[in-house]
Amino acid sequence: MFTMFPLLTLSLLVYGIMSLALGGSEWTGEAVFTVSMISGDQWRVSGGDLFLMFSLFLLFIEILRATKTGTDSILNHAFSAVLFVACFACFLIVPNFGSSTFFLVTLMTFMDFMAGFIVTTLAARRDLGVSGGIGA
């Protein structure tokens, strides 16, 4: 049952909760920890960086889930489209959501939506044996 809901919904919820709890999108720019590199540079990892890593991991799982067929996967693609529209609306309208971090999450929801339909379409063409040419 839960396979029909896009995992990137968690990213939207986490971003909303963090923005409300910490008063805006400043949490995305604050350094959580620093890693000393061999080159002598300091890699400053912010809350937004960790959030995007988490969201990219969820996108990876969603793309793997897009290869499955069935009623749940069709509903997942439809909900992914709704999630993209919701994220885009939040980015444009809701205060504290107009940041580069959330824009990248919105792009991830778009990629999930498009990848789901493209992978499903290609799998359906392969299963039906549809060829590229007319009369072939």
pLDDT digits (tens, 9 = 90+) for 14-73: 999 998 888 777 888 888 999 999 999 999 999 999 999 999 999 999 988 888 777 788
3-class DSSP state of 67: coil
Q: What is the mean pLDDT of residues 83-94?
A: 96
Per-residue pLDDT at 127 exceeds 90 = no
How many residues in total does the chain contain?
136
Q: According to the model, what pLDDT value does residue 44 have?
A: 94
Report the alpha-carbon distance of residue 129 to residue 136 in Å, rounded: 11
Q: What is the mean pLDDT of residues 80-98?
A: 95
Q: According to the model, what pLDDT value does residue 116 have?
A: 85
Q: According to the model, what pLDDT value does residue 112 have?
A: 93
Q: According to the model, what pLDDT value does residue 33 have?
A: 92
11 close to 54: Cβ distance less than 8 angstroms:
yes
Q: Which of 22-36, 79-93, 95-109 comes out lowest in average pLDDT?
A: 22-36
Q: According to the model, what pLDDT value does residue 26 have?
A: 81
Q: What is the mean pLDDT of residues 76-93?
A: 95
Containing H/E element for 75?
helix 71-93
pLDDT confidence bin for 131, thresholds 50/70/90: low
The residues that bridge with 36 in the sheet, in sequence order, are: 42
76 close to 3: Cβ distance less than 8 angstroms:
yes
For the chain, the domains span: 2-125
Q: According to the model, what pLDDT value does residue 49 have?
A: 94
Buried b (16+ CB within 10 A) or exposed e, 73-102: beebbebbbebbeebeebbeeeebbebebb
- Residue 30's region, left for phi above 0, alpha for psi from -120 to 50, else beta, is beta
